[in-house]
Amino acid sequence: MPLPTQAGEPEVKAATGFLKECRDKPVLLIIHSQADADAVAAAAALADYLHNAVICVPDVLSSPGKRVRDRFGVKIVNFKELAFSPSALILLDSNSAALFPGITDYFPNFNGRTAIIDHHSLHDDALRADVVFVDNRASSTCEIIYELFRELNYPVSQRIAEILLAGILADSADFLHASTRTFEVVAYLLKRTPLSLAQIREVVEGVPSPEYRLAILKALAHLRISRAGNFLIIVSATNTLEAVSAEKLISLGADYSFVAQVTTKELRISARCRPSLVDSCGADVASIMGEVGRFIGGSGGGHPAAAGANGPYIERLDDALKLACTLAREQLKKAGCIKSSGARECEYLEI
């Protein structure tokens, strides 16, 4: 039976029932590998509701995740150093087994209740749980946590409002991927803090580090461009912050962007597209990343305008980027946004 990707009343009821049931029990909140600001913030907010919760990460936090942790004093332990016997587990901000290294055996075999709360579409390697709340319409997992708090009639304090705002602002890319629901949530939360959005943004982004600036510049230095009619598809590679780099390329004029990063163990690719293309040309980088993820021996998924893939076949970097570019061209052709004549495969311009 396929898991839902847009939560409705039954999923809301199941999730809130699960949280009520676990409120006074020991609960382990598990955030994904290299946890970002949204994952850390969602876990911190949920831990405020639960009376006996521990937050753990399989490896390390991202830089924005660390800033949220430090700003709000969130205690997070490494899974390998965990000394805690929970009666329930909750995975947050991802459903992909690949993003929970070291936990994929522990979670399915856990002798207790399990849940997943996430805003990404389902990966091919999606984990299973007793309760699954997956809603890819939400801009962030923090947005989902707020909605659950509202259903639970749980009052949002100033601290929790600021934490949720940090996660929403980060994962919506400064509202680039926001919906009307997102703005309604943000308006409510802003009434509970004296901080402005600009101040919340500083919590997430901080002062851009040299590493951040270098990552962007490397992505620009290594980019390749394919033109499809009036559309520009840009692929590139950097040694860190591939998601930020992909976002930046869209802001600089790309219609689709695919940026790869090679780690010691895997190939990671972040994909973005101009949000207006989702409706006008059927753009869906989540489906592209699903296919690319399989090509590199892993999985992929996300949202129509923002997604990612990861897998162990590092040597397929160039071919994976070309595949992503080719699939983007096919989406544009299928929607009638470009003519169907010409080469099927992606071809790069001389620049």
Q: Among all chains, which residue has been given the structure tokens 């595949």?
A: 323
What does the pLDDT read at residue 174? 83
Average pLDDT over residues 177-199: 94
Task: Label residue 53 by pLDDT band (50, 70, 90).
Answer: very high
Residue-wise pLDDT for 24-50, tens only, equals 999 999 999 989 999 999 999 999 999
Say what percent of the chain tops pLDDT 90: 73
Amino acid code (one letter) for 4: P
CATH dotted code for 210-334: 3.10.310.40
CATH architecture of 9-205: Alpha-Beta Complex (3.90)
Residue-wise pLDDT for 164-174, tens only, equals 999 999 999 88
Between CA 94 and CA 125 the distance in angstroms is 11
Task: Label residue 328 by pLDDT band (50, 70, 90).
Answer: very high
Short-list 233, 236, 232, CA closest to 223: 236
Enter the pTM of the model. 0.73
H or E element at residue 290: helix 285-295
Domain ranges of the chain: 9-205, 210-334
Task: Label residue 1 by pLDDT band (50, 70, 90).
Answer: very low
Average pLDDT over residues 115-129: 91
Task: Label residue 22 by pLDDT band (50, 70, 90).
Answer: very high
Quick check: 46 and 20 in contact, CB under 8 A?
A: no
